[in-house]
Amino acid sequence: MSKTYNLKLDGLVCPLPVAKTKKKLNEMEPGEFLEVTGDFGESGENIKRYIEKHGDSIIEFKIEGEDYFIRIKKK
C-alpha cells in the first residue's frame, strides 16, 4: 500500500504553496500520494498547473470557495 502525505498550506499565498508542494514531492518516492489543502484558491490552481507541467498525476482536484484540495500521485 502506498503512503499518503498531507500538506496543509492555509494562510499561504504564491509562490510559497507551489514551492512547498515541490519540496515535499522531491522528498517522496514514486507511487506515493500527497494531499494538499489550503485556503487561497488561486494557489490551488497554480499548484495544479505546476503538477501538470512537471509530470506527476492529479488524482483529485477541487475548489470550494477559496478552499482547495489536491491529491497528487508521485511518478
Catalytic annotation present for 14: yes
Query: Residue ranges of the domains in the chain?
Result: 4-73
Q: How far apart are CA 45 and CA 66, in angstroms?
A: 11
Q: How far apart are CA 9 and CA 67, in angstroms?
A: 10
Beta strands in the chain (DSSP E): 4-8, 33-38, 57-64, 67-73
Residue at grid coordinates 498525476: 57
Q: Is the pLDDT reported for residue 1 higher than 80?
A: no
Query: pLDDT tens across 55-73, in order?
Result: 999 999 999 999 999 999 9
CB 56 within 8 A of CB 74: yes
> In which band, very low, low, confident or very high, does the pLDDT at 74 lie, cut at 50, 70 and 90?
very high
- Indicate the pTM of the whole model: 0.95
Q: Which fold has domain 4-73?
A: Translation Initiation Factor IF3 (3.30.110)
Q: Is the pLDDT reported for residue 8 higher than 80?
A: yes
Query: pLDDT tens across 27-42, in order?
Result: 999 999 999 999 999 9
Confidence at residue 65, expressed as pLDDT on a 0 to 100 scale: 96
Q: Which of 14, 19, 58, 59 is catalytic?
A: 14
